[in-house]
Amino acid sequence: MADLVTLAEVKVFLNIDHSDDDTLLDGLIDYYTAVIEEYCDHDFTQASQTEYLDGGQRDLIVGKLPIASITSIADTEDDDALADADDYDFDPNAGLIYLTSNSGIWTRGRRRWKVIYVAGHDGAPSDVKLATFKLIAGDYSRRDSGLKSEHLGDYSYIRFDDFPADVKVILSKYTRITI
């Protein structure tokens, strides 16, 4: 997994011109890269994936999003015969592979279809980078990460472990909708 943002990008965003906090910032970059990819169930760097999927339905549903390309689909119960690329298409953001010919139903069988595909973005989209910057900036400005709440006269501060609303809005288009 490659980081969503670079140290240099974070330092520009935070207007930092020294290297005193580089180790802290590198840690925040690594942490929020993992957190965002987990939250979105999305890969923001491309990697080859191999999955064995059940047949008997209209769509094969892959586990990693988005689908960048499909390398091959093989029928494990027919000597790994390859499906013709002209016979299927896919919805990259939904992770669905569907037949364009025949009955429209993948032949039934448990873990029958071996799908090799490339998933992920070719680098983090600019809005995902912005969400990452916002999260890092929030933690960087509150380096006392153990602090959950504080009240001093009229001043109060409460830290929530959830993403801020504006970050959730940014990331919402990358999260997988489950039914």
Write the burial class of residue 54 (CB in 10 Å: 0-12 exposed, 13-18 middle, 19+ buried).
Answer: middle
Report if residue 172 sits inside a domain.
Answer: no
Report if residue 138 sits inside a domain.
Answer: yes
Q: Which two tokens stand for residue 89?
A: 């298409």
> pLDDT tens per residue, the chain (179 residues)?
689 999 999 999 999 999 999 999 999 999 999 999 888 877 788 899 999 999 999 999 999 888 999 999 999 999 999 999 999 999 998 899 999 976 789 999 999 999 999 998 888 999 999 999 999 999 898 765 555 555 666 665 545 457 899 999 999 988 876 55
Can you give the pTM of this predicted structure?
0.68
Report if residue 34 sits inside a domain.
Answer: yes
Domain co-membership, 71 together with 17: no
Domain co-membership, 39 together with 62: no
Count structural domains, the chain.
2
Domain co-membership, 128 together with 75: no
Report if residue 149 sits inside a domain.
Answer: yes
Q: Is the dihedral of CA 131, 134, 137, 142 positive or negative?
A: negative
> According to the model, what pLDDT value does residue 122 have?
85
Domain co-membership, 110 together with 59: yes
Domain co-membership, 80 together with 110: yes
Report if residue 2 sits inside a domain.
Answer: no
Domain co-membership, 155 together with 128: yes
State which residues form the domain around 134.
7-43+123-165
Domain co-membership, 70 together with 109: yes
Report if residue 177 sits inside a domain.
Answer: no
